[in-house]
Amino acid sequence: MQNKSVIGFIGAGNMAYALIKGLINNGYGAENIKVSDLDESLLNSRNSELGIDTFTNNSDLISVCDVIVLAVKPQVMSSVCKGLQGAVKSSHLFISIAAGIRANDICRWLGGDLALVRTMPNTPALVQQGATGLFANDLVSEEHKQIVTSILSAIGDCFWVGEEKLIDAITAISGSGPAYFFLMMQSMTQAGMALGLDEKTASALSVKTALGASVMAANSDDDPKQLRANVTSPNGTTQAAVESFQDQNFEGIVANATRAAYDRAHELSIQLGDVD
């Protein structure tokens, strides 16, 4: 990565760890990464494993950083941001990875109009296979966007959207999406056991098949619809299963579930932002 901005993480938990580890693995210098947290033992372990400077005071951290990643839980975001007022500079670039919190609410809590990118990562970020949605407010420049893309690319692929409400759609597809695939694997494991396989074998077959299908879909020029057609011989076993899924409105079930996630994301962003 060419950019050598000093990046400060507020919150040293799971997501910050995944991002910092990804950045260092991609060649970003540990001397340009800092982190703050309330938990000193966690900071000590991040320092000894990753070689990064640590802070117990968030304002001290941001005073030595150009880019600030807000990596705390949504419930504490308002108090963390308000605690930074006074240390915030207009040159700072903020990145929020907190689920559900709108850009305007974060800027209000920080005390001004600031360059801020709101992101929605997902849990495969923890194994550097994430899909992250990103929305930039009006003060974010093209150069800022390149910096943010280079940081979030450390945990997977980045997808920019031009309207903030699309972050709720991203939440419904990739944010909550890993759980849908886990549910599918769980259901296939149970189905395999009902057909006589032992649990260990049924589970391993389900997980490996999900991984194989995903790698094929990610690497193929064909879209998933075509890939499915390619493995569905007329009157074969796959066709029998797919017809059974479709008789029970599989596409409609998925559409309803993702709409429920979208509506809940919208509701939560109103609740979480409704704090002075």
Ligand X SMILES: NC(=O)c1ccc[n+]([C@@H]2O[C@H](COP(=O)([O-])OP(=O)(O)OC[C@H]3O[C@@H](n4cnc5c(N)ncnc54)[C@H](OP(=O)(O)O)[C@@H]3O)[C@@H](O)[C@H]2O)c1
Helices (H), the chain: 14-25, 40-50, 58-62, 74-84, 103-110, 142-152, 166-170, 177-194, 199-219, 224-230, 237-247, 250-273
- Closest distance to ligand X from the beta carbon of 40 (Å): 10
Minimum CB–partner distance for residue 127 and ligand X (Å): 11
Per CB under 6 A, residues contacting ligand X are 10-16, 36-39, 42, 58, 71-74, 76, 80, 97-99, 121-123
Q: What is the smallest separation between the CB atom of 65 and ligand X, expressed in angstroms?
A: 14
Q: Residue 37 or 105: which CB sits closer to ligand X?
A: 37
Least separation in angstroms between residue 62's CB and ligand X is 11
Closer Cβ to ligand X, 61 or 202, answer by number: 61
SS3 string of 151-203? HHHHHEEEEEECCCCHHHHHHHHHHCHHHHHHHHHHHHHHHHHHCCCCHHHHH
How do beta strands 53-55 and 115-120 pair?
unpaired
Sign of CA dihedral 102, 268, 154, 57: positive
Minimal distance in Å, beta carbon 44 to ligand X?
Answer: 13
Instruction: Please name the residue ranges forming H helices in 53-102.
Output: 58-62, 74-84
Q: Which is nearer to ligand X, 7 or 15 (CB)?
A: 15
Query: Which CB atom, from 38 or from 207, has the smaller least distance to ligand X?
Result: 38
Q: How far is the CB of 84 from ligand X (least distance, A)?
A: 10
96 vs 202, beta carbon nearer ligand X: 96
For ligand X, the closer of residues 55 and 202 by Cβ is: 55
- State the Cα–Cα distance between residues 107 and 105, nearest whole angstrom: 6
Tell me which residue has its CB nearest to ligand X: 13
- Interatomic CA distance for residues 226 and 1, integer angstroms: 36
